[in-house]
Amino acid sequence: MTHRRAAIPALIGGVLLTALLWWAGASTEALHLQGTTDTLGGRVVAELQQWLTPWSYDPPTSVRFGSGVLGEIGDPAGGDATRYLSLYETALQIRFAAVFVFFVLGAMLLVRRLPPVDGRLPATLLALWGWGVVAGMLAVTVSAPWLIASQGRGSYRFLPQLAGVISSGRQMPVVTALLASLATVFAARVIAKGQDPLPREAVPVRAARLAATVGTAVVALSLVVLSYESVAAELQTSFSGSGLFSEPGDLLRQWLLLGAWSAPAGVSFGDWLLYRATDVLLLALVWTALRRLPAMLTRVTVPAMAVGTVCVTVLGLLASQLLRVALDGSTLKWDLMYLSTAIGGGVPAALVWGLTAGAAATVTLRAAGGRGPTADAPAAEPEPARP
């Protein structure tokens, strides 16, 4: 598929994702209507507000009434509120523009290298869903400095504040990205009709397994080694400093750790082992996807493998978070609260380690003879396009 053809569904998905996030942010006003709390419950309204506020143009009280300083005298209530309101609006404008740009760029690459034809449709849909979540996280990240400045505290503990902003607004992209990916796949499917059958990369089975193992090992380095409580604590507390960029531990932890786990303490070994099933699920999904991904791509390239691995890691995190909810045995009354704190977590680390794992898998695949004839004939031979 050419760049021009791939751009059309990517633009459709980007517009839909941006519009859905804007609509979700605008819906925060409905949570303040009389009777909403009585209908949904106070806890549910509070959690929904936490989901929607990062995408809302309605500024918090600290920004609306000014939270800066007036002259040399600290006066939280007497600062010029228009300055902070302008910064807040700029942050939201950058956020929505960035989510559109990031989604379109990634979707174009995925639609070109993993078009939704020849049995690839489920893989394309899932990959675009995962990339939509990443696009939301990147948009929040690039707009974070303006949002922090609008609070009037940009010079105080900037890095911990940055880590806190990045971790917000992660729930809504999980929902909206699924709808945007459906629209993107449908448009790409329509555009791909009538084209010649798209090629599949010929990948030897042994080389694919070796590449998948190497990529999974890179992800496991974060999930198993760095995420262990003693290692994670050392990582968070070993880096110190002073001034604007002091205390980078929170930020490093967020971008390097895919999870958190500890040795059995206060629970039986069987229960502890059961909770480790979430990590096993994530690694199993990553290995299986990396094993099949090279044969599904129209051309194995480092960008395609890296972005695909990022999407797989994000989806693996979502699956492991849902499994953890099931293992906890949460009742329906508390499920929304539990999901709101867990869902969408670890996406920054998934981006870092997914890109690294994808690049490592590609290098391994080529070094192991990934361009030679494949022993898996059905995966190597192109299939006719399905209507």
Predicted local distance difference test score (pLDDT) of residue 337 = 61
Q: 187 pLDDT exceeds 50? A: yes
Read off the pLDDT of each residue in 356-371 and give the average, rounded to a whole number: 88
Read off the pLDDT of each residue in 4-21 and give the average, rounded to a whole number: 95
Predicted local distance difference test score (pLDDT) of residue 185 = 96
Read off the pLDDT of each residue in 1-26 and give the average, rounded to a whole number: 92
Predicted local distance difference test score (pLDDT) of residue 60 = 72
Q: 74 pLDDT exceeds 70? A: no
What's the pLDDT band for 293 if we cut at 50, 70, 90? Answer: very high
Predicted local distance difference test score (pLDDT) of residue 244 = 66
Predicted local distance difference test score (pLDDT) of residue 375 = 37
Predicted local distance difference test score (pLDDT) of residue 268 = 80
What average pLDDT does the chain have?
Answer: 84
Q: 305 pLDDT exceeds 70? A: yes
What's the pLDDT band for 241 if we cut at 50, 70, 90? Answer: low
Cβ atoms of 208 and 221 within 8 Å: the answer is no
What's the pLDDT band for 197 if we cut at 50, 70, 90? Answer: low
Q: 123 pLDDT exceeds 80? A: yes
Predicted local distance difference test score (pLDDT) of residue 385 = 40
Q: 193 pLDDT exceeds 70? A: yes
Read off the pLDDT of each residue in 169-174 and give the average, rounded to a whole number: 91
What's the pLDDT band for 179 if we cut at 50, 70, 90? Answer: very high
**Whole-structure pTM value:** 0.88
Predicted local distance difference test score (pLDDT) of residue 380 = 40
Predicted local distance difference test score (pLDDT) of residue 72 = 36
Read off the pLDDT of each residue in 2-16 and give the average, rounded to a whole number: 92
Out of 39-43, 123-127, 196-200, which region has the weakest mean confidence (pLDDT)? Answer: 196-200
What's the pLDDT band for 188 if we cut at 50, 70, 90? Answer: very high
Cβ density class 330-347: b for 16+ within 10 Å, e for less: eeeeeebebbbebbbbbb
**pLDDT over 90, % of the chain:** 50
pLDDT in tens, 254-277: 999 998 888 887 778 888 888 899
Predicted local distance difference test score (pLDDT) of residue 141 = 96
Read off the pLDDT of each residue in 272-283 and give the average, rounded to a whole number: 91
